[in-house]
Every structure is written in C-alpha cells, then in structure tokens.
Amino acid sequence: AQSVTQLDSQVPVFEEAPVELRCNYSSSVSVYLFWYVQYPNQGLQLLLKYLSGSTLVKGINGFEAEFNKSQTSFHLRKPSVHISDTAEYFCAVSDLRGSQGNLIFGKGTKLSVKP
Amino acid sequence: SQTIHQWPATLVQPVGSPLSLECTVEGTSNPNLYWYRQAAGRGLQLLFYSVGIGQISSEVPQNLSASRPQDRQFILSSKKLLLSDSGFYLCAWSRGGPAETQYFGPGTRLLVL
C-alpha cells in the first residue's frame, strides 16, 4: 500500500520569497507523483506530475518539483511567490500497476503568502 | 473541451435525512469517475470510483452509496445522514490509467446539523 506524508500543514511566507513544500511517499512499488493546488472553496487542479525521465518537473504558475527516488521525496518549489499563490497544495501518488488511476493524497499544506 | 459540474454547491441537511449529490461530465466519453470527501485536516479521502456504467467500487465502508446510471453521470447518495458526513465533496474524472490527470469539479459543501 502507498502513503503520502506532507510534513508541514501550514507554511507562511512573505511575497517574493522562495518556498518549498515537502512531500514524502512510501510505496513498495513504483509510483507516479502529482502535485495539485486548491484555491479557497474550489476543486483541485493539477500543478505538475512526474511520470518518467528528468527528475526535475516544471509545472504551471512557475512551480517545479524534483523527484528523489533514494529519499522517496517529491518536494515542490517556487523561487518567488505571489499573493495569488495562497492556496492549499496536495501531493499524491498513483500505483503504476493500477488500471483505475486511483490517487493517494497527502493531507495538504496550506501556503499563506503575506505582503 | 471537457467540463465537470457538481450540484448543489452548498447543502444544509438535518441528521437522518437523505442525500443526493450529482456530478456530470461533458466533452468526453467513458471517463473514470471518482467521489472524494475532504474534511478539515484530513486531506482527500476517496469514497467511490467507477470505470463504467453501473460499475461502482467502494473504498471506505460507510452509510454512503454511489451510482452511475449514465456514462457521464455520477451520483452520491445516503438514506440517513450522520453528523460525521459533513464535509466538502469533490467529484473528479480521468481518462483512466495511473498516469492520467484527474480533473475535479467545484465541489459541494455539506453541513449536517
């Protein structure tokens, strides 16, 4: 079975500062990795995903994430955040062998960008 | 392009009352469909998924049920709501397979009193 741990439930940061949101996963099989963002009172939308190839993945809104297999991590980064990045961010994994495409989500990290 | 709709947007129901939440997808055919519940501090919990009409898989035993009467329609129901059913319910669709993106609806906020 897979599990996802997002160590930080809340991350406050000032505008234009860099940010890293941490994600670690546990799985006995290979997985695909995803980051989703949820703005207040909305559904989730995909930021980026890692399937194969380069371990550095670039997504929308200037975010990027790096897959580290040895550390089973997939941390999300942005070099300079904006007020509009205030949202909740979810890391998720899916089993390569699963045909249903079911995702296992972490509990989320609330990013709060202050002026 | 594809769109996903959920209604109602918000719902306040008394304990013991029935529930019906609806989700419809446009612009695609034979999607995988998912129901999630999001409770504060607990992330997203997958409740049900469906790979086709009439095919429902339950991930968590509870007093909720799901049905898929049409290819692009997914319904979440309950005969008698509990206080613990309160939360934000999200419907999602994908093209199936572990690499595919899931596309989420706007959600329904349910408050059981």
Task: Round to whole Å and give the CA distance between B47 and B58.
Answer: 6
Considering only the beta carbons, identify the residue of B4, B100, B107 that sits closest to A101.
B100
Considering only the beta carbons, identify the residue of B57, B90, B99 that sits closest to A43.
B90
CA distance B43 to chain A (A): 4
In chain B, the residue whose alpha carbon lies closest to the alpha carbon of A95 is: B98
CA distance B80 to chain A (A): 26
* Contact present, A109 and A10 (Cβ < 8 Å): yes
Percent of chain A scored above 90 by pLDDT?
78
Task: Round to whole Å and give the CA distance between A95 and A92.
Answer: 10
Neighbouring CB atoms inside 10 A of A64's CB total: 16
Contacts of A7 (CB under 8 A, 6+ apart): A22, A24
Which residue shows structure tokens 């329904």?
B108
pLDDT at residue A102, rounded to an integer: 86
Which residue shows structure tokens 């706007």?
B106
Q: At B60, is the pLDDT very low, low, confident or very high (cuts 50, 70, 90)?
A: confident
Closest CA to B104 of B19, B32, B18: B32
For residue B81, give Cα distances in angstroms to A40, B34, B40, B43, B112: 25, 20, 19, 21, 7
Beta-bridge partner residues of B89: B37, B108
Which of residues A101 and B32 earns the better pLDDT score? B32
B51 inside 8 A of chain A by CB: yes
pLDDT greater than 80 at residue B64? yes
Closest CA to A37 of A79, A74, A92: A92
In chain A, the residue whose alpha carbon lies closest to the alpha carbon of B57 is: A100
pLDDT at residue A14, rounded to an integer: 97
**pLDDT (tens digit per residue) in B84-100:** 999 999 999 999 888 88
B49 inside 8 A of chain A by CB: yes
**pLDDT (tens digit per residue) in A65-112:** 999 999 999 999 999 999 999 999 999 998 877 767 789 999 999 999
Q: At B40, is the pLDDT very low, low, confident or very high (cuts 50, 70, 90)?
A: confident
Chain A residue numbers touching B102 (CB-CB < 8 A): 44, 46, 101, 103
pLDDT at residue A95, rounded to an integer: 81
B96 inside 8 A of chain A by CB: yes
Percent of chain A scored above 70 by pLDDT?
98
Average pLDDT over residues B48-59: 92
pLDDT at residue A96, rounded to an integer: 74
pLDDT greater than 90 at residue A30? no
